[in-house]
Chain A
Amino acid sequence: MEDRYLLEKIRETGLAMDIDPGLKERVLKNLARDVARRKGFPQPGWGQLLWIQFSFVPWWLWASQLLAFGGLPFVEFLLKRYTAISGWQIFPALTVCVSAAGLLLIRELERHFSCRTMEIEQSCFLNLTQLWLLRVCCIAGADALALLTFSAFRARAWGFGFFPFAVYVLTPFFFSHAAFLFLFGHGKRGGLLAWLGTAVFLGACVGIQTAFPWIYALTWLPVWVGLFFAAAVCFVSQLMALYGKMEGEGVCWN
């Protein structure tokens, strides 16, 4: 009853109103423009985004990652069988293995450039930098999980608890990945001084661990935990830099 009363009132007022045809046309045009711009599309979910990563990452990358990490027990076996190393002496070999995994990941990111697909990919809804971010997260995440699993099973054999062993192994893993991402990102774009400075710093972080393995034994664990967090921060910052900087001239092929 109330609705009908209101409708009648609106109609009466509407009929009495002077309609500005110009304004009406502008309003209708704006409506049409907004409808055209917001043509309905569903948003892809996280599941779909992950599926893209897993379904289109080339087989050789998974195979080589498997080889790098599947090789860890094999390397460990060889070291145990043919050398007399023990305790912290295993870490340099592990550092080399985890760094190799990072190199393979960078090779995969570089493929967009070598195949010159980056311009098309950058123009898509899920653009190249987002694609890279997801890809690095997926692959590095899978690698970190593999390292944690390895640590859980093998830490005791080398006289360590799970936590210190995992921290010792994951620190060079993140440092090396950060270094590779930096070299990859700034190799495409960036100042020479910043490039050299950061490359030397990150390289030293990995290299010192490999060249002077006794540091593992001498350094107090909380310091390593601090280093681990520093490495993780370096890795995340390089990931964000890659996401933020790889635009424009960086992806346009000439």
Chain B
Amino acid sequence: MLELRLEEVTKRFGEKIAVDQASCRMTEGVYGLLGANGAGKTTLMRLICALLTPQSGSVTFCGEPVLRLGAGYRRILGYLPQDFGYYPDFTAEKYLRYLAQLKALPASILETKLEEIWELTGLGEARKKKLKTFSGGMLRRLGLGQAILNDPRVLVLDEPTSGLDPKERIRFRNIISAMGRERIILLSTHIVQDVESVADEILLMKGGRLSAAGSPQQMLSLAIGKVWECPAEGTLAERLMAQYPISNIRHEEGRLKLRIVSGERPTQDSVLAAPNLEDAYLFWQTEHAGQMGETR
């Protein structure tokens, strides 16, 4: 069984605490790391990838600190950074071959592995094209390709869907779903829908603290009875928007309909609505941080 454990991990940059005593335990499965921009997701992922050294606490893989495992850990690690860099004059194939060499992939399996990646990412036809001609979506797919090149036991994907159009995002989610559950996959995003369908468990991050976790169903159950649809106009709408977190606003029959996340009924004519993960996330963000208990 694989086990990645964070124990009281803290990382500061000068005065700013980017990750504050983060603790969790991850085993095989897909984990979605949700948090607003600047919540500390990228720093946490870099700590997990042993790119950064924490000031206190430890990140261990199967009981051994990842920093001590060194190359042994990097060998079973796949990482797609948020800002995916590439050599513009390399072709897709040359880029993957280059990284395969750095990942010390045996030559005997390289060709088979490349074929698998072309098929998975749908980049087979573009393999001979230079990376400077690739679209954002193609580059992200190539980024995922390089991350899984060494068949990693720990796969860390930092905002893999940022800047992608909806079609590419769905494609990306399908690739992750198809990758199987025999590894630890950590996927960070600030877009709730990206993890809704693929994550087995959701980690939430706010102000550097990894404060809650649970399955998407557990998260949803948090918001049951807390989501209201409320018709409103003019000053009432303005007042409600100032008073409550709003997950959606739409026009219906010439009136505004607000979707409000709140523990109390906002107005007499508000009706309860079935929550979605976005509502649950908003609810957690605004009112109930830290209520969901420890990670498994």
Contacts and interface: CB of A to CB of B under 8 A. Distances in A.
Contacts of B46: 119, 252
A56 interface: yes
Given A32-B1, A41-B75, A251-B51, A120 B99 contact: yes
Given A117-B85, A117-B86, A33 B52 contact: no
A93 interface: no
Interface stretch (B57-65, B234-242, B273-281, B283-291): B57-65
B211 interface: no
Of the candidates B98, B102, B150, the one having the most CB atoms from chain A within 10 angstroms of its own CB is B102
Given A36-B153, A37-B62, A248-B53, A125 B74 contact: yes
Nearest to A48: B101
B103 A125 contact: yes
Interface residues of B, number: 41
B153 A116 contact: no
B272 interface: no
Interface in A96-131: 111, 115-127, 131
A32 B1 CA distance: 6
A252 B50 CA distance: 11
B76 interface: yes
Of the candidates A51, A55, A119, the one having the most CB atoms from chain B within 10 angstroms of its own CB is A119
A113 to B, nearest CB: 9
A123 B50 CA distance: 8
A52 B102 contact: yes
B12 to A, nearest CB: 11
B77 interface: yes
A115 B86 CA distance: 6
Contact of A123 (B3, B77, B83, B153): B77
Interface string B41-74: 0000010011111000000011110000101101
Main SS of chain B's interface residues? loop
A107 B66 CA distance: 32
B81 A119 contact: yes
A52 B100 CA distance: 10
Given A36-B153, A252-B52, A253-B81, A121 B87 contact: no
B62 A36 contact: yes
B146 interface: yes
Nearest to B131: A115
Nearest to B13: A249
B170 to A, nearest CB: 25
Interface string A9-52: 00000000000000000000100111011110111100010011
A36 B154 CA distance: 11
A41 B86 CA distance: 26
A29 B62 CA distance: 11
A36 B102 contact: no
A70 B50 CA distance: 43
Interface string A39-76: 10111100010011001101000000000000000000
B103 A124 contact: yes
B79 interface: yes
A120 B101 contact: no
Given A36-B1, A56-B98, A119 B51 contact: yes
A138 B102 CA distance: 16
Nearest to B2: A36
A119 B51 CA distance: 8
B254 interface: no
Contacts of B71: 125-127
Nearest to B81: A119
Contact of A131 (B64, B69, B102): B102
B122 interface: no
B104 interface: yes
B244 interface: no
B81 A37 contact: no
B163 interface: no
Nearest to A56: B98
A127 B98 CA distance: 12
Given A36-B62, A39-B76, A41-B75, A120 B51 contact: no
Nearest to A124: B102
A247 B53 CA distance: 9
Contacts of A116: 83-85
Closest 4 CB pairs of A and B: A116-B85, A124-B102, A117-B85, A123-B79
13 contacts: A37-B72, A41-B104, A41-B106, A115-B85, A117-B86, A118-B85, A122-B51, A123-B49, A123-B77, A124-B102, A125-B104, A126-B101, A126-B104
Given A37-B61, A115-B87, 15 more contacts: A33-B1, A36-B62, A39-B153, A41-B75, A43-B104, A44-B101, A111-B87, A119-B79, A119-B81, A120-B79, A123-B49, A125-B103, A126-B103, A249-B13, A252-B51
